[in-house]
A = this chain, B = another copy of it.
Amino acid sequence: MRAAIAGASGYAGGELLRLLLGHPEFEIGALTAASSAGNRLGTHQPHLFRLADRVIEETTADTLAGHDVVFLALPHGHSAAVASQLGEETIVVDCGADHRLAGPAAWQEFYGGQHAGTWPYGLPELPGQREVLRKATRIAVPGCYPTSVLLALSPAFAAGLAAPDVVVVAASGTSGAGKSLKPNLLGSEVMGSVSAYGVGGVHRHTPEMEQGLSAVAGEPVRVSFTPTLAPMSRGILATCSAPAAPGVTKASLRTAYEVALKDEPFVSLLPEGVWPATAMTYGANTAALQVTLDERAGRVIAVIAIDNLTKGTAGGAIQSVNLALGLPEELGLPLTGVAP
């Protein structure tokens, strides 16, 4: 299989390449970008030694044509125009936001402009979603925060153990903001500091969380989401809570999660008493999850760690592509984090 990567000079593009270099069924085809077209890849991704001399091309339909899979790691608003020129014989995977939301209303409110349409949502762990992805030729990779929140709370909502009034506070590594030259992303600013941003229901991943959880719950779920930036390159730790349904106990909660996750290759429900750390998942496609009941406050508390670039973006994308291609879901994906 030949794969092209549009947006090869960014962080998502680099992670796709790192993983595809270790995937037995892929060879790496065209690498494209916008402002860095014409440069060697080594200038932008110095850790990809084996691809250092590959030259980045312009992102056009021509350069992307003739591949079995095209990964789009582009700023939002740029995917639809590219995808429309690629036929259904090509699997197109959008790592951006353009095709995640189910309808134009939330798109308008949070992104503005014309909605590009909805694609199959690339989170195989959602109920029924593996079947959808096995036939897909277009895949919308979930946002990194929604990946974490949907994995953390779906078992509770699927089992009817939580009320639809969710509070999420999540810490993300800086790579989640991309390779953007903004003062607040400079090393001098982020090291030694945790900061909040996008507070008050305005972060664009909020409607995606509500959409996914509402589908699982079978009723509208409201999410209050506060993202924070932590002094690390990678990783998301999301603390997710909701009022416990009447009668829920610690034991019933644990059992529901064990049942829901027992066959999931990429979600590790930790032993009781062990809480997730993002380091457990560094560079791996695995989520580390724990859940408990706060009996004083009457809330289900689920905490999850993922690597935002791996399970949260590039690894999740390849996992869905594996399904779409009829390959083993785990093929080529690291299960073990690089720690300490």
Number of chain A interface residues as a range: 35 or more
Which B-chain residue is minimally distant from A222 (CB atoms)? B297
List A42-95 residues whose CB lies under 8 Å from chain B.
42, 44-50, 52
Q: How many copies does the complex hold?
A: 4
B187 contacts A231, CB within 8 Å?
Answer: yes
Digit string of A224-239 for contact with B (CB within 8 Å is 1, else 0)? 1010101111110101
- From B49, B239, B296, A222 is in contact (CB under 8 Å) with B296
Q: How far is the CB of A123 from chain B (nearest CB, A)?
A: 20
Q: Which of A21, A42, A47, A190 has the most CB of B within 10 A?
A: A47
The answer to the question of A182 belonging to the interface, with a C-beta cut-off of 8 Å to chain B, is yes
B233 contacts A278, CB within 8 Å?
Answer: no
B193 contacts A190, CB within 8 Å?
Answer: no
The answer to the question of A331 belonging to the interface, with a C-beta cut-off of 8 Å to chain B, is no
Given contacts A200-B301, A340-B14, whether A335 and B50 have CB atoms under 8 Å apart is: yes
Given contacts A224-B297, A241-B224, A268-B49, whether A290 and B191 have CB atoms under 8 Å apart is: no
Bound Cα distance A129, B331 (Å): 35
Bound Cα distance A175, B193 (Å): 14
The answer to the question of A189 belonging to the interface, with a C-beta cut-off of 8 Å to chain B, is yes
Bound Cα distance A296, B280 (Å): 34
Given contacts A194-B278, A201-B294, A279-B189, whether A50 and B336 have CB atoms under 8 Å apart is: yes
A303 contacts B224, CB within 8 Å?
Answer: no
- From B18, B189, B274, B296, A338 is in contact (CB under 8 Å) with B18
The answer to the question of A195 belonging to the interface, with a C-beta cut-off of 8 Å to chain B, is yes
B277 contacts A191, CB within 8 Å?
Answer: no
The answer to the question of A147 belonging to the interface, with a C-beta cut-off of 8 Å to chain B, is no
A223 contacts B183, CB within 8 Å?
Answer: no
Q: How far is the CB of A140 from chain B (nearest CB, A)?
A: 23
A52 contacts B271, CB within 8 Å?
Answer: yes
B192 contacts A278, CB within 8 Å?
Answer: yes
A228 contacts B188, CB within 8 Å?
Answer: no
A336 contacts B49, CB within 8 Å?
Answer: yes
A194 contacts B237, CB within 8 Å?
Answer: yes
Which residues of B lie under 8 Å from residue A286 when comparing CB positions? 49
- From B235, B271, B335, A193 is in contact (CB under 8 Å) with B235
The answer to the question of A142 belonging to the interface, with a C-beta cut-off of 8 Å to chain B, is no
B297 contacts A201, CB within 8 Å?
Answer: yes
- From B42, B179, B187, A271 is in contact (CB under 8 Å) with B42
B335 contacts A232, CB within 8 Å?
Answer: no
Given contacts A223-B297, A335-B50, whether A174 and B197 have CB atoms under 8 Å apart is: no
Which of A97-105, A165-173, A320-328 participates in binding chain B?
A165-173
Residues of A within 8 A of B (CB): 11, 14, 18, 21-22, 40, 42, 44-50, 52, 165, 167, 169, 171, 173-175, 179, 181-183, 185-197, 199-201, 206, 222-224, 226, 228, 230-235, 237, 239, 241, 268, 270-271, 274-284, 286, 288, 290, 292-299, 301, 303, 305, 334-340
Given A40-B271, A233-B340, 14 additional A-B pairs, CB 8 A: A14-B340, A46-B339, A165-B297, A171-B194, A175-B188, A189-B233, A196-B239, A199-B275, A200-B292, A206-B296, A224-B241, A224-B294, A224-B301, A230-B230
Closest 5 CB pairs of A and B: A195-B277, A193-B279, A224-B297, A187-B190, A169-B169
